[in-house]
Amino acid sequence: MIPVTSTRDRILDALENLLLEQGISQVTLENVAAAAGVSKGGLLYHFKNKDALLTGLVQRLGERADDQVEHAVAQGRSLAEWHLQSPDVTNESDALELALYRSMVAAMRTVDAHDQRANPVQQALTGVLESWKSGLDTEFEDPVHAEIVRLVGDGVYLRALLGLPPIDPDRYREVVARLLNPAAS
């Protein structure tokens, strides 16, 4: 049975594809509507403007990340372990995740640098990042240690997003082990 996709999800899927395949310059309400197979009015029913559309994308990426965290925790992993995982570009699931984060980076590039606090895309992104930060803060007694874990995880994902070679797997396992259990070093 083929899963039923909501119109809203079809629109966001179309936005992701446009961002990934053609870049932010091709993200117009008309292009997204056409790619999603809806009228511009249908798109505007779900998203009142381009900022709302990009905000919806960032929120959906945050929801997907939350689902991944819940799955990891259900398997006995911590948020820190999830945050420090190194993406495997040969794994279809990880490759899709990287593609989604690339689309988030593309959406971030549209943020007006002069008034970031008022921008709904920036606010949505800040909300996603703050939820991860607060989760890490609850896992570690030392907030500085939690911040180090976050920064290392961010750096690992940035390397993958940029297509840079991964860190030596053995060395990275040592890094993660030390970050997760600093008393053992």
Q: Which of 10, 26, 48 corresponds to the end of one domain? A: 48
Whether residue 21 is found in the same domain as residue 63: no
* Structural contact between residues 50 and 29, judged by C-beta atoms closer than 8 angstroms: yes
b/e 94-124 (16+ beta carbons within 10 angstroms → b): eeebbebbbbbebbeeebeeeeeeebbbbeb
Whether residue 42 is found in the same domain as residue 117: no
Whether residue 42 is found in the same domain as residue 112: no
- Number of separate domains in the chain: 2
User: Is the per-residue pLDDT at 69 higher than 50?
Assistant: yes
- What digits encode the pLDDT tens for the residues 137-172? 888 989 999 999 999 988 888 888 788 887 888 999
* Alpha-helical runs (H) found in the chain: 7-22, 29-36, 40-46, 50-74, 79-84, 92-108, 120-139, 143-161, 169-180
Q: What is the CATH number of the domain that holds 9?
A: 1.10.10.60
The residue that leads in pLDDT, 137 or 102, is 137
Residue-range definition of the domain harbouring residue 24? 1-48
User: What single DSSP character describes residue 91?
Assistant: S
- C-alpha to C-alpha distance for 101 and 160, rounded to whole angstroms: 10
Whether residue 63 is found in the same domain as residue 129: yes
Whether residue 107 is found in the same domain as residue 157: yes
What average pLDDT does the structure give for the chain? 82
pTM of the model: 0.72
Whether residue 36 is found in the same domain as residue 71: no
